[in-house]
């Protein structure tokens, strides 16, 4: 094995611009380590295992993925049995959330970081297979001294990305050995196995998440069509694309000669815009039909074999109640798997007055859910929402706990009932709880544990009974670690956690748009209709700003609509930023797409679900 010193020297030479015989992904990663993360190759650091509490959080967030990935991992483990391979499934942040290895080597594996909870992000561990794969989104072998940190140069690690149905990297599958032959080529088979297992996990994930949709599986040869297809695409009842595996994305991009597009650009498109078929043709591709009849021709002439699977669960007709959910909770989503789980858990917890911590990105609907939980219990008492970040620190105490007459200089003569007492018999919703000052955290803890509140200046505490819901878009466990949030309060508030999916992850975007538009119609006393192109653009947008951004976009669109019709020109311009591919290396691509649409810019804009001005802008840039 190469010496530590010569390894460090080699990295330094590469850092100074020397040409290296190593694979390009390795060199690129070394340069990121040196230039972006400022890692020092002379400082060796052992593998990092995250604390137990943190690991629990990562595993909870990846619960569904672990369940789906498990059988893939087991299958792969059996394939490589006896060769001392270890399998790691890491989340998108590089933390190992599932692991399979030979328990005989437990101690060595843990020390080497090939273990549950190890963090292999590139900025922490330096060049490593999981980290490089997360950054590049490509399968990669990091063999022995390809690793940046000298502590890891004994290992060989091979990783393949797992993408979710909307095209975001959601996990990495890694196959590693403590000791291996010197030749990197010895890991080619591992690369092939990891890549095909990742493909199967993506397919299983698609099948689970799109039970209400059609799934169209694609393969280049008919033999593997039903057992191990190359790609899969999910379609809703009207033939619109709702999700895909990474291979499915590749197939769509090739079929449309559109290499520069991202997965999201295909969401919302009709299948008839990509292939010579319509939604009514799907049954023709179902299993049992002769393979010859299951040929699918793409618009560009490419031919694939296709196999269709009908929705496993028949679509619930709108307004038919789902069983047992109280109405207030039922109306939070329609057909989104993650939300359905949140709703079912919320219904069970609400009935028991258990403190719930609601997590989710800003604008993901935390307060909306809190209100629904309150309403689902008959709505008795008040729903009192307190934004701990919005009240100045010196006022939080008196606002929350209230005060007796003349309790302090400037206090009202009549005293004041605090928000906690306002919520007595109802629900107290503490938004941005992470911003609650430490001194007040202990007083809040007393309210929760003793069920009583002591206003400022009062000699005696008063009994209260309330349901406490809290929310934060910050990681409370991190605040606990930093000493900015009391651990005992964290455990109190966090008896149960409900994690809301971000809007970009929701499978019921179309339904949400209808709900929000119905609300705007009610407010404005008018009715609106979204035309097809605008609908496609709304469905294809990545919505980084969440439900509030969507609601604002619809509000603007409604205001700009003519005769109640919302077309693409009514949608805010920023909606289209990034919807079209970054400038293609090959400007022929856009010209070809345009000529396919009879040189009609509006038709191409409609096809891509973008604004006409976006196409004009791109054409101008290419000129």
Ligand X SMILES: Nc1ncnc2c1ncn2[C@@H]1O[C@H](COP(=O)(O)OP(=O)(O)OP(=O)(O)O)[C@@H](O)[C@H]1O
For 322: left if phi > 0, alpha if psi spans -120 to 50, otherwise beta; the answer is: beta
CB of 294 to ligand X, least distance (A): 39
What letter would DSSP give residue 35? I
Residues that bind ligand X (rule: CB under 6 A) add up to a total of: 18
Using rule CB under 6 A, residue 360 touches ligand X: yes
| SS3 of residue 161 by DSSP | strand
Using rule CB under 6 A, residue 337 touches ligand X: no
- List the one residue from 124, 299, 417, 473 that touches ligand X (CB under 6 A): 473
Report the site for ligand X in 379-438 (rule: CB under 6 A).
431
- CA–CA separation, 516 vs 214, rounded Å? 26
Q: What are phi and psi of 306, to 5 degrees?
A: -130, 145
- CA–CA separation, 110 vs 197, rounded Å? 24
Using rule CB under 6 A, residue 335 touches ligand X: no
Using rule CB under 6 A, residue 326 touches ligand X: no
Report the site for ligand X in 549-608 (rule: CB under 6 A).
551
Per CB under 6 A, the segment of 169-177, 185-193, 194-202, 356-364 that binds ligand X is: 356-364
Per CB under 6 A, the segment of 106-114, 227-235, 357-365, 456-464 that binds ligand X is: 357-365
CB of 397 to ligand X, least distance (A): 22
- CA–CA separation, 156 vs 181, rounded Å? 9
Using rule CB under 6 A, residue 476 touches ligand X: no
Using rule CB under 6 A, residue 48 touches ligand X: no
CB of 548 to ligand X, least distance (A): 5
Per CB under 6 A, the segment of 132-140, 172-180, 360-368, 569-577 that binds ligand X is: 360-368
Using rule CB under 6 A, residue 342 touches ligand X: no
Q: How many residues does the chain have?
A: 623
Per CB under 6 A, the segment of 28-36, 72-80, 93-101, 509-517 that binds ligand X is: 509-517
Using rule CB under 6 A, residue 118 touches ligand X: no
- List the one residue from 117, 248, 363, 434 that touches ligand X (CB under 6 A): 363
- List the one residue from 186, 382, 515, 592 that touches ligand X (CB under 6 A): 515
CA nearest 416: which of 443, 391, 398? 398
Token pair 């970040």 in the structure block, residue: 389
Q: Which residues, including other chains, have CB under 8 Å from residue 178's CB and lie 6 or more apart?
A: 84, 86, 105, 108, 109, 112, 114, 154, 155
Q: How many CB atoms lie within 10 A of CB 433?
A: 28
Residue nearest to ligand X (CB): 365
CA nearest 264: which of 612, 615, 575, 549? 575
CB of 336 to ligand X, least distance (A): 9
Using rule CB under 6 A, residue 507 touches ligand X: no
CB of 553 to ligand X, least distance (A): 12
Rg (CA), the chain: 28
CB of 388 to ligand X, least distance (A): 11
Using rule CB under 6 A, residue 368 touches ligand X: yes
Strand partners, 292: none
Using rule CB under 6 A, residue 497 touches ligand X: no
Using rule CB under 6 A, residue 139 touches ligand X: no
Using rule CB under 6 A, residue 454 touches ligand X: no
Residue with smaller CB distance to ligand X, 332 or 558: 332
Using rule CB under 6 A, residue 547 touches ligand X: yes
Task: Please write down the long-range contacts of 406-413, taking CB distance under 8 Å and 24 or more positions apart.
Answer: 406/457, 407/455, 407/456, 407/457, 407/458, 408/456, 408/457, 411/456, 411/457
Using rule CB under 6 A, residue 332 touches ligand X: yes
Instruction: Work out the burial of residue 221: count CB atoms within 10 Å of its CB; fewer than 13 is exposed, 13-18 middle, 19 or more buried.
Output: exposed
Using rule CB under 6 A, residue 545 touches ligand X: no
- List the one residue from 199, 200, 264, 366 that touches ligand X (CB under 6 A): 366
Residue with smaller CB distance to ligand X, 512 or 533: 512
- CA–CA separation, 308 vs 344, rounded Å? 31
Residue with smaller CB distance to ligand X, 199 or 366: 366
Residue with smaller CB distance to ligand X, 332 or 568: 332
Using rule CB under 6 A, residue 506 touches ligand X: no
| SS3 of residue 499 by DSSP | strand
Using rule CB under 6 A, residue 212 touches ligand X: no
What is the SS3 assignment for 333-397?
CCCCHHHHHHHHHHHHHHCCCCCEEEECCCCCCHHHHHHHHHHHCCCCCCEEEEECCCCCHHHHH
- Which residues in this chain contact ligand X in the complex, by CB under 6 A? 332-333, 360, 362-368, 431, 473, 512, 515-516, 547-548, 551
């Amino acid at each position: 094995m190469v010496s530590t010193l010569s390894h460090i020297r080699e990295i330094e030479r590469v850092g100074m611009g020397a040409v290296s015989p190593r694979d390009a992904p390795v060199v690129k990663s070394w340069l990121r380590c040196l230039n972006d993360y400022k890692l020092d190759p002379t400082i060796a650091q052992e593998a990092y295992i995250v604390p137990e509490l943190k690991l629990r959080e990562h595993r909870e967030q990846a619960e569904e993925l672990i369940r789906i990935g498990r059988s893939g991992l087991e299958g792969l483990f059996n394939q490589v049995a006896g060769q001392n391979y270890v399998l790691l499934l890491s989340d998108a942040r590089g933390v190992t959330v599932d692991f399979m290895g030979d328990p005989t080597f437990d101690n060595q594996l843990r020390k080497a970081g090939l273990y549950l909870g190890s963090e292999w992000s590139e900025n922490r561990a330096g060049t490593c297979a999981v980290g490089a794969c997360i950054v590049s989104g490509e399968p990669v072998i990091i063999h022995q001294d390809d690793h940046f940190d000298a502590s890891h140069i004994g290992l060989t690690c091979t990783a393949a990305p797992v993408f979710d149905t909307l095209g975001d990297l959601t996990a990495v599958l890694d196959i590693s050995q403590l000791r291996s032959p010197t030749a990197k080529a010895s890991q080619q088979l591992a690369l092939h196995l990891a890549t095909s297992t990742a493909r199967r996990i993506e397919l299983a994930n698609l099948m689970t998440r799109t039970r209400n949709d059609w799934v169209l599986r694609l393969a280049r040869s008919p033999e593997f069509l039903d057992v191990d297809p190359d790609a899969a695409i999910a379609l809703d009842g009207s033939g619109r694309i709702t999700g895909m595996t990474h291979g499915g994305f590749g197939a769509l991009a090739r079929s449309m000669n559109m290499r520069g597009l991202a997965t999201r650009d295909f969401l919302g498109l009709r299948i008839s815009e990509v292939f010579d078929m319509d939604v009514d043709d799907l049954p023709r591709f179902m299993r049992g039909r002769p393979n010859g009849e299951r040929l699918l021709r793409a618009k560009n002439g490419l031919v694939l074999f296709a196999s269709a699977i009908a929705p496993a669960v028949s679509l619930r007709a709108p307004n038919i109640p789902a069983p047992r959910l109280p109405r207030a909770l039922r109306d939070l989503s329609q057909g989104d798997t993650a939300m359905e789980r949140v709703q079912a858990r919320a219904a069970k917890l609400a009935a028991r007055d258990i403190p719930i911590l609601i997590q989710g990105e800003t604008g993901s609907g935390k307060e909306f859910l809190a209100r629904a939980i309150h309403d689902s219990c008959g709505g008795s008492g008040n729903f009192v929402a307190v934004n701990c970040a919005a009240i100045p620190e010196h006022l939080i105490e008196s606002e929350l706990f209230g005060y007796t007459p003349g309790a302090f200089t400037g206090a009202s003569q009549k005293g004041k009932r605090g928000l906690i007492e306002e919520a007595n018999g109802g629900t107290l919703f503490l938004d941005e709880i992470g911003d609650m000052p430490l001194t007040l955290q202990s007083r809040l803890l007393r309210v929760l544990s003793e069920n009583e509140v002591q206003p400022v200046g009062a000699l005696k505490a008063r009994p209260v009974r309330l349901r406490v819901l809290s929310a934060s878009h910050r990681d409370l466990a991190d605040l606990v670690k930093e000493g900015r949030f009391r651990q005992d309060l964290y455990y109190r508030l966090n008896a149960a956690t409900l994690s809301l999916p971000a809007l970009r992850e929701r499978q019921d975007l179309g339904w949400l748009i209808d709900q929000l538009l119905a609300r705007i119609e009610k407010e404005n006393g008018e009715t609106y209709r979204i035309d097809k192109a605008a609908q496609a653009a709304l469905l294809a947008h990545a919505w980084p700003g969440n439900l509030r951004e969507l609601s604002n976009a619809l509000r603007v669109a409604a205001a700009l609509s003519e005769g109640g019709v919302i077309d693409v020109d009514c949608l805010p311009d920023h909606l289209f930023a990034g919807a079209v591919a970054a400038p293609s290396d090959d400007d022929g691509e856009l010209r070809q797409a345009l000529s396919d649409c009879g040189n009609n810019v509006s038709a191409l804009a409609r096809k891509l679900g973008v604004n006409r001005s976006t196409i004009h802008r791109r054409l101008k840039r290419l000129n």
